């Protein structure tokens, strides 16, 4: 299939789209293409996800099942764990995880395995786009040579590009179609192909000169947040020693109509992006004999925050004449952010691990995460406890880590002897000030 032929088919929505990885990034993208009338094949190695989707059921809180059911029924959506079907779609989008190793180095096994699967079934006329966050050079240095080893030539026989995901689960103000999409291609024809495809489902497409530019764009977005979160977390710890309420400081600074963007402190960093992505650039920078000191310092500060929170819990209990060992502590919220069902890299996990190692007995409540799954570094055999009055009165302390909207925080503060608040949700509860510790 020639460049012009594939472009015409994209514009007429006659191409089929394959999306590999049906998680928080891939599944919304699947639905967006289906909504515009494209036939979509979803691929995932997780058989449980595939079976649920085939039955029209969602496993993500922010995606209701009815959005999936209608596309399964009308035949626009097919899902499979059989990667031999990769020869069928005209356009393949890669939305697989890019975690870190224990040594905080890029773990590209999912991209490598996916590339190998595509390589085995690559045919002329296919468009391949990587969406996973990664270091600059991944598309051209890792994926391109492996696909060209088939004898097919990029820009002539197949097309290759990069377009970083920008999903923000739980943010109802920005849907997939509303978030501008940065796109790039290995060759000019590749870039045109990628821009045309996404232009059918995203309102605004921003072409850039190369995949490296697009890859670094994504990293910059998350490093910007990482550095600013580290800054405000460091100031939080300093303000605590100085007896100053950092939240009041931020609120006052936010009244400046220019030159200031508010960032808010918390119990640490979480999610699949901000705690991970900066290290991808730091690792790649070593290839150029360059030390990313600022980025690494921000990472060090953010990694330290859970230790600070645990120290505040310990101090609060000491003030009541109790030790941390043997104390019953209720963790409020284990998701990495408000009103989502994703606990990946959540600071709650590090805080819970530290508290357990110091001998505390833990319970948790999270309306979005009924059972804690097995994580890369942590395995807690716990399930969410309902916030009953007897339970609250049995607790020695409660730690607010995730500020979910559904929780009755005033009821918690009223009935638990001491509450450690990392999110400022107890602001305004002045009658209970003696029971509240900001952390």
Based on the residue annotation, tell me whether 273 is a catalytic residue of this protein: yes
- 3-state helix, strand, coil split of the chain in percent (to 5) is 40, 15, 45
Q: Which residues pair with 13 in a beta bridge?
A: none
State the CB neighbour count (10 A cutoff) for residue 251: 14
The answer to whether the Cα torsion of 118, 123, 124, 127 is positive or negative is negative
Token pair recorded at residue 198: 């996404």
Decide if 184 contacts 144 (C-beta within 8 A): no
User: What's the CA angle centered on 337, arms 336 and 340, to 5 degrees?
Assistant: 95
Residue 359 tokens, joined: 């001998």
Inter-residue contact 402 to 348 (CB < 8 Å): yes
- Contact call for residues 205 and 195 (beta carbons, < 8 A): yes
- Residues 373 and 8: their CA atoms lie apart, in Å, by 45
* Tokens at 215, concatenated: 């890859």
Q: Which of left, alpha, beta for 191 (phi over 0: left; psi -120 to 50: alpha)?
A: alpha
Question: Which of these is catalytic: 34, 95, 190, 273?
Answer: 273
Q: Which residue bears the tokens 């002897």?
A: 417
Residues involved in catalysis: 273
């Amino acid at each position: 299939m020639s460049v012009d032929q594939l472009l015409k088919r994209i514009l007429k929505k006659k191409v089929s789209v394959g999306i590999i990885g049906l998680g928080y990034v891939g599944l919304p993208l699947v639905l967006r293409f289906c909504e515009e009338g494209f036939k979509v094949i979803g691929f995932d190695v997780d058989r449980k996800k595939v079976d649920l989707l085939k039955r029209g059921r969602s496993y993500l809180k922010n995606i209701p099942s009815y959005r999936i059911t209608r596309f399964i029924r009308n035949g626009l959506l097919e899902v499979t764990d059989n990667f031999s079907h990769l020869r069928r779609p005209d356009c393949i989008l890669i939305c697989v995880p890019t975690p870190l190793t224990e040594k905080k180095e890029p773990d590209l096994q999912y991209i490598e395995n996916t590339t190998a699967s595509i390589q085995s079934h690559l045919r002329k006329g296919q468009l391949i786009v990587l969406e996973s966050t990664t270091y600059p050079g991944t598309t051209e240095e890792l994926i391109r040579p492996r696909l060209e080893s088939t004898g097919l030539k990029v820009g002539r026989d197949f097309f290759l590009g990069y377009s970083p995901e920008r999903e923000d689960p739980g943010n109802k103000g920005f849907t997939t179609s509303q978030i501008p999409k940065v796109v790039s291609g290995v060759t000019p024809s590749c870039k045109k192909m990628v821009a045309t495809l996404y232009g059918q489902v995203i309102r605004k497409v921003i072409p850039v000169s190369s995949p490296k530019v697009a890859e670094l764009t994504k990293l910059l977005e998350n490093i910007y947040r990482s550095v600013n979160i580290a800054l405000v977390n460091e100031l939080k710890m300093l303000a605590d020693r100085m007896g100053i309420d950092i939240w009041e400081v931020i609120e006052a600074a936010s009244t400046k109509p220019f030159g200031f963007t508010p960032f808010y402190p918390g119990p640490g960093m979480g999610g699949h992006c901000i705690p991970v992505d900066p290290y991808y650039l730091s690792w790649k920078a070593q290839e150029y004999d360059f030390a990313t000191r600022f980025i690494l310092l921000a990472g060090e500060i953010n990694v330290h925050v859970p230790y600070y929170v645990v120290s505040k819990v310990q101090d609060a209990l000491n003030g009541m004449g109790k030790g941390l060992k043997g104390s019953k502590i209720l963790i409020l919220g284990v998701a990495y952010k408000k009103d989502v069902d994703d606990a990946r890299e959540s600071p709650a996990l590090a805080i819970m691990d530290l508290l357990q190692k110091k001998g505390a007995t833990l319970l948790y409540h999270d309306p979005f995460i009924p059972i804690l799954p097995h994580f890369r570094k942590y395995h807690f055999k716990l399930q969410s406890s309902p916030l009953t009055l007897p339970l609250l009165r049995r607790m020695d302390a409660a730690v607010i880590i995730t500020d979910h909207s559904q929780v009755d925080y005033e009821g918690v503060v009223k009935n638990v002897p001491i509450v450690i608040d990392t999110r400022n949700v107890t602001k305004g509860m002045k009658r209970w000030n003696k029971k509240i510790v900001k952390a």
